[in-house]
Amino acid sequence: MMEGTPKNRIMDEDGIRRAISRISHEIVEKSKGTENLVLVGVRTRGVPLAERIQERILEFENVRLPLGLLDITLYRDDLSMIDVQPVLHETRVPFSIEGKTLILIDDVLFTGRTVRAALNALIDLGRPHKIQLAVLIDRGHRELPIRADFVGKNVPTSSRETISVCLKETDENEEVLLWEKL
């Protein structure tokens, strides 16, 4: 799927599991519990990550947090520039986000444009008390003033490199790879 050569394996299955476990604990710790907490995963790979965080929190807090899915396609700022139009999927947030502490979850934080689109999409659904961002990988190169509140791993990259996150739910294997672009 990725053009180029894989240079480095940044995380394996255990690494991903530990990172998610730590983020889950940090979310609960920072919010001082699970009250008013809701999770929203950004399609595609933010969704399985959000489901795993939900599972982890259920295990150690015995609370199943509400979980929503967000498709940000209609909020992208580059729609008229990209040639391959992304397939539109459903946004499903089957609960009110009004007044909630909302944890937005995605796989990689890069330019920040996806997060900007996600924030706009969320605000069209209601007015949460607080939105916090959790990502598995932060690879830098921000183009907008956005930062993550919970990070699995910070990976300094050059602009010639890319990151691919593979998860069992969406891909064949489970790993995070660093690639050198062609």
Partner 1 sequence: MQWMHKDLLDIDNLTAQEIEHILQTAVPMKEVLARPIKKLPTLRGKSIALMFYESSTRTRTSFETAAKILGADITNFSVAQSSVSKGESLLDTAKTLQAMNIDLVVIRHTSSGAPEFLAEWLTAGVINGGDGQHAHPTQALLDYFTIKDHLGGFKGKKILIIGDVLHSRVARSNALGLKKLGAEVTFIGPPTLLSPEMKYLGVKISYDLDKELPGADAVMALRLQLERQQSGLVPSIREYNRLYGLTRERIEKTGKPTIVMHPGPMNRGVEIASDLADSVQSVIEEQVTNGVAVRMALIYLMIGGGTANVVD
Q: How far apart are CA 103 and CA 133, in angstroms?
A: 6
Give whichever of 8 and 96 is closer to partner 1, judged by the CB atom.
96
Q: Is 124 in the site for partner 1 (CB under 8 A)?
A: yes
Q: In the bound complex, what is the minimum distance in angstroms from residue 65's beta carbon to partner 1?
A: 22
The site map against partner 1 for 56-75 (x = CB under 8 A) is ---------------x--xx
Please report how close the Cβ of residue 94 comes to partner 1 at its closest, in angstroms: 10
Comparing CB distances to partner 1, the nearer of 70 and 176 is 70
**Of 18, 2, 1, 10, nearest to 156 (Cα)?**
10
- The mark string for 78-117 relative to partner 1 (x by CB under 8 A, - otherwise) is -xxxxxxx-xxxxxx-------------------------
Nearest residue (CB) to partner 1, 82 versus 182: 82
C-alpha to C-alpha distance for 6 and 160, rounded to whole angstroms: 12
Residue 90: CB minimum distance to partner 1, A = 4
- Closer to partner 1 by CB, 81 or 182: give it: 81
Report residue 43: phi and psi, to 5°: -60, 140
Whichever of 1 and 84 has its CB closer to partner 1, that residue is 84
**Interacting residue ranges for partner 1, rule: CB under 8 A:** 71, 74-75, 79-85, 87-92, 120, 124-126
